[in-house]
Amino acid sequence: MSSKGKLYLVPNTLDFGIEGAGGELREVLPQQVIEIAARLGHWAAENAKTTRAFLKRVDATVPLAVPLQQQDIKELPRAPKGRASDSADQNAAWTALLAPALAGQDLGLISEAGLPAIADPGALLVAAAHAAGIQVVPLSGPSSLLMALAASGLNGQSFAFVGYLPVDAAARTARIRELEAVSARQHQTQLMIETPYRNGALLQALLAALKPQTRLSISCGLSVPQGWTRSATVAQWRKLAGDQVGLPDKIPAVFALLA
């Protein structure tokens, strides 16, 4: 029997940064997830501050086995600019996060929002865990990407997440047209995200670059009371005034297109 601990992939809520959106954890996360999170004392986190906020909410539902002040929370390493993320020292940094599990104690991996290792740097820690022979246990929870896809009415049989688009206007337009061409050729839904304060800019770029018949879906604030999803052709989106679109600049959004 292995003496190593397990790496639990602990889902976080999707309401981070949304004023007044936080509610009961049981409304979003299964009881099993809350109970496992409550007993863990070691964490690898995208952001230590948001992890403490998450654990405070867990403690209000199921008392923490290890007091919040004594929780061992280490942030995921960030690759230095101009250096490869798979360099030897980076690999060592990721492996070092697994020390509790290698010593026989369970470890939690948590993102700022949603499922860890999905559109999230934690995937490198999961890879390191497999390489070290540590059991990886994914836990059920919300994923904004899959929820947006399900609510879009676009093709859920073939889809791709392409992350962030270029900030430079010309490069962004070129990338949008490239994705539209791929979508048309493969009948594949293309999913993307943006920093919330650039939601409006991305929408305008999409409406300017995409063909009128291409279908565009936007999901905002999923899993919170004010969340919504709207799907329409680009031609239909273009007829809406800015206030009718209601695209906020502080709430995360997922954009999806299908040519």
Q: How confident is the model at residue 223 (pLDDT cuts 50, 70, 90)?
A: confident
Q: Judge if 13 and 96 occupy the same domain.
A: yes
CA neighbor of 113 nearest in space, from 27, 51, 192: 51
On the question of pLDDT at 14 being above 60, the answer is yes
Residue 207 sits in a domain whose CATH number is: 3.30.950.10
Dihedral of the alpha carbons of 256, 156, 13, 164, in degrees to the nearest 10: -30
Is the CB of residue 9 less than 8 Å from the CB of residue 116? yes
Q: Which domain holds residue 82?
A: 7-138
Q: What's the average model confidence in pLDDT over 111-117?
A: 93
- Decide the pairing of beta strands 189-193 and 253-258: antiparallel
Q: What pLDDT was estimated at residue 82?
A: 46
Choice among 31-35, 108-112, 224-228 with the minimum mean pLDDT:
224-228
Q: Please check whether residues 212 and 160 belong to one and the same domain.
A: yes
Q: Which two tokens stand for residue 4?
A: 């190593």
pLDDT (mean) for 224-236: 91
